[in-house]
Structure 1
Amino acid sequence: MRKIKIAVVGPRDSVSLIGEVGKEYEKRIEMTPLIYAVPSEVPELMERYGDSADVWLFSGQVPYYFAVACQATSKPLFYIPHTGSSLYRVLLQIACIEKMSFDGISFDLLSRAEIEETFADIPLKVKNIYVKEFKDIISTQDLAAYHYELWQAGKTKAAVTTLQSAYEELKKRQVPVFRIWPLRDNIRTTLNLAIRTVEAAAFKDSQIAVQHVAIDDYADVVREAHSGYTVRRLEATLYTLLINYAEMAKGAIHAHGHGQYSIYSTRGAVEAITENFTVMPIKEEIIKALPVPVSGGIGFGQTAHAAEENAYKAMGFARHAGKGNWMVVSDEGTVTGPLSSAAHLQYSLRAADEDCRRMAQEMNISVTTLNRLLASLGKISGEAVGADELALHLAITPRSARRLLASLVEKGLALLTQQETLHKGRPRNLYQLRMQALSKLFSGE
């Protein structure tokens, strides 16, 4: 089995410690040390190394923030956390080796709550504790300046920092400074998490993917065709497009006849060509080349049977949403789609809890429709919607959408705001969904 490639980023001493602990996993991982003088060098390091690592591991949160900001890779990013337990070694050094008081110390990165909890566990009451909390990029100069200004003003006697470059800068300025190092146990925990994440992703990528593709209303197409040759040419055109698509998906194609096809590949390949299940790359080509709509259902599973079952479910959802749609059903029970559509959503087939099932029952809708409504909230926020628009978002009939809107109004979750007259006929009702109330309801607040 190929070893997992881990790029380890940090100052020399931290990277060395991580490498030492990493030897315990040498049969499973291969580490590449990437050393910086200051965290701001992280983007350049990542660009120079390229995207050959399976996972990136940072010595702390500061270099991790730089990595997130530069968006240099799509691979998983992890950092060694400096938790409250990381403080104990520093506190032991301050009290037992340096014989200093804990009153008047400045800290960075760790939260005040973590620091106070650590002192409470000792237990020890301290005064004049200063904490620099941050959750974003910060420079060595800014961090060093924070500690130095407190010390120069006489507010602190010492500084505790998580950043090696800030530690060196403060030593130059003759500030009594201590550094929080990564704990070996935290390194092991993070390495285990990184390894499991890569292995799980590899397993998911290798899942079987089955795609069912069919010409919509095939019987009508045959009935209205001038001859059998017309239908055969139609099928031949679609088959050619699907062969190209199967090649993109690194899969195999099988024609069942009567305008139906199956494509077999892997989840990883399908995820890549559909851009994480958002687009169907040949949909526009099919629309341009064929005078009839074509629908598709994509299913994933650990076995061929499970993947095929999910593909049939996906095809059902695609046709429920209309003609010419493509939907995805995963083995986790998640429905995604329609692909390449403004109405694209992701929702669960399953009821999250008893409250969700009860709510669906009260509204006289399925749990799936309720989950679609939840997934749609962000797209229809602030809009006045009618039954037709809601039906489009939820892939239900306008009649069902009218019934749902009436139920939402009855429960105080929607308001009838206006009536819109379109040409002749009865004016249609427009509703304003009470987004805050709906969000609270579905989040269980």
Structure 2
Amino acid sequence: MYRIGVVGPPPSIERILDVANEFEHDEIEFVPFPYEDAKEVSGIVQEHNPEFNGWFFSGPIPFTIARKVLNSEANCVYCPPTGSNLYRCFLQMAFEHDIVVRRVSVDMIESEGEHLREAFAELEIPPEETYVRTFDEHYDPQSIAQFHLRLWREGKTQGAFTTLLSVYRALQQEGVPVYRVLMTKMEIRQAMKIVIEKARSSYFKDSQIGVEIIEIEQFDKIAEQSNARYHLQHLELKIKQTLLLLCEKLDGSLLDNGNGRYQIFSSRGAIEREIDELRQTVQLLSLEADVSVAVGIGFGETAFSAESHARRALQHAKDKPEFGIVIVQDDGIIIEYAGGFDQLTYAYRSSDKGLLEKLNKVNVSIKTYKRIEALVHRMGWNSFTTSDIASHLTMTVRNAQRIMGSLCECGLAELKGEELQSLRGRPKKMYRLIKKEHS
């Protein structure tokens, strides 16, 4: 049984559930979560997320709010406002009032503002005859209602189109011709197919085989450095006891490969859910052995492919000075610092021939470029220095300078300026990645 939570104001919920009846069968259940104020969305999602396989939001406002509390891979969709939503409002107003509608005010969340302006342009309505108010998830409905009301009272508009139920009700009470920008049944149907397919694929992804390879650094030297008899045997027992506790959480099996290397076989879903438990286990092992611990995790359709990916992940982990946890997925995605606040996700392969040709010319690997690209995206940098890259990706400043110089040479980055950090010393160069088609 797949359970999909439906979140939105009551009228939108009714429209969504009406279409959901077309999809009703034994394996799908749609559960409504109506709200009066979109600020309730965070609480709804946080409380009920573990119970559901996906979320269907009535529009971009609840979707944007929910994204703040859901992880980046959460299965959630919404019906984005399109031109047809807007055309519907124009037709309703023209039909009900028997007028040619040209002068209106519209409100829309910022993330969809560009699509709204594009729709007006397609209608060939002059910009000076439309009034657009955009807002973020911290909107004030009273202020937005006043925006529409003031324009209408001043005779600048013939009516208002709103995405907010509270604004719609407030304007109705004032006698303003107001219409909701609502999703069409076709759009609901399309979004519903997407969330169902994502729920199904997520189930199969969860059931993939997952392998964890845990390696204690320089395990064979621990005995040499100890004066106590049986020290290594006692340590091995402690390590196994600690790992068996982790195995219980993962419902997995433990394999001792000898010389400080262990493997745990489980499912992808269990490993991803218990990643924090793994991080705590690694910290405990590191304290007990007083050495660094590296972990490589691999996912795959077969035990062989999962183990191969885990070995690749382990090598990535060991290449880093501080070791840590690295995941290699079956789709070529690498996750560094898995489960941490500084988690970095990137692909170690690409089918973009243009990009690969540029990187090959300057002798920069696709992995290095993708790591830098992922870091810049995660940090939200418009510009950065080679010191920024070096400190976050644990490489020397000299190496970072060479890489950025090469990326500038092949047109994938550019020098944006200089930053003087102190009165002494030379200013640091500021760089920016260039986003464009590589084909």
Name the TM-score, length of structure 2 as normaliser: 0.79
Equivalent residue letter for 1:440: I
Map of 2:306 onto structure 1 = 307
Residues 407-418 of structure 1 mapped to structure 2, 5 A cutoff: 408-409=404-405
Q: Do structure 1's residue 114 and structure 2's residue 118 form an aligned pair? A: yes
TM-superposed CA distance for 1:49, in Å, is 6.2
**Conserved 8 A contact 1:374-1:442:** no
Equivalent residue letter for 1:32: V
Map of 2:16 onto structure 1 = 18
Q: Do structure 1's residue 36 and structure 2's residue 30 form an aligned pair? A: no
Q: Deviations over 1:326-362 (max 9, x none)?
A: 3221112122225588986433211463344334434
Cα distance, 1:177–1:354 mapped onto 2, change above 3 Å: same
* Structure 2 unmatched runs, 5+: none
Map of 1:423 onto structure 2 = none
Map of 2:145 onto structure 1 = 144
Map of 2:176 onto structure 1 = 175
**What CA distance in whole angstroms lies between the structure 2 residues aligned with 1:430 and 1:227?**
54
SS in 2 for 1:233: helix
**What CA distance in whole angstroms lies between the structure 1 residues aligned with 2:370 and 2:436?**
9
Q: Do structure 1's residue 326 and structure 2's residue 325 form an aligned pair? A: yes
**What CA distance in whole angstroms lies between the structure 1 residues aligned with 2:322 and 2:166?**
60
TM-superposed CA distance for 1:286, in Å, is 1.2
SS in 1 for 2:139: coil
* Structure 1 unmatched runs, 5+: 419-428
The structure with the largest alpha-carbon Rg is 1
Cα distance, 1:76–1:101 mapped onto 2, change above 3 Å: same
TM-superposed CA distance for 1:373, in Å, is 4.0
Map of 1:6 onto structure 2 = 4
Q: Percent identity?
A: 27
C-alpha RMSD of the superposition: 4.0
Map of 1:280 onto structure 2 = 279
Q: Do structure 1's residue 435 and structure 2's residue 431 form an aligned pair? A: yes
Cα distance, 1:50–1:233 mapped onto 2, change above 3 Å: closer
TM-superposed CA distance for 1:260, in Å, is 2.5
Cα distance, 1:272–1:432 mapped onto 2, change above 3 Å: farther
Map of 1:105 onto structure 2 = 104
Map of 1:298 onto structure 2 = 297
**Conserved 8 A contact 1:216-1:324:** no
**What CA distance in whole angstroms lies between the structure 1 residues aligned with 2:102 and 2:341?**
59
Q: Deviations over 1:372-413 (max 9, x none)?
A: 344455779756649xx94x86567x6xx7566446557677
Residues 194-213 of structure 1 mapped to structure 2, 5 A cutoff: 194-213=195-214
SS in 2 for 1:116: helix
**What CA distance in whole angstroms lies between the structure 2 residues aligned with 1:161 and 1:416?**
46
**Conserved 8 A contact 2:250-2:271:** yes
SS in 2 for 1:280: helix
Equivalent residue letter for 1:174: G
Cα distance, 1:351–1:153 mapped onto 2, change above 3 Å: same
**Conserved 8 A contact 1:79-1:190:** yes
**Conserved 8 A contact 1:296-1:326:** yes
TM-superposed CA distance for 1:173, in Å, is 0.9
**Conserved 8 A contact 1:273-1:281:** no
Q: Deviations over 1:153-202 (max 9, x none)?
A: 11112222233332232221111223333210011111112212222332
Map of 1:238 onto structure 2 = 239
TM-superposed CA distance for 1:435, in Å, is 2.2
Cα distance, 1:342–1:174 mapped onto 2, change above 3 Å: closer
TM-superposed CA distance for 1:246, in Å, is 1.8
Equivalent residue letter for 1:358: E
Cα distance, 1:367–1:39 mapped onto 2, change above 3 Å: closer
SS in 1 for 2:51: coil
**Conserved 8 A contact 1:51-1:73:** no
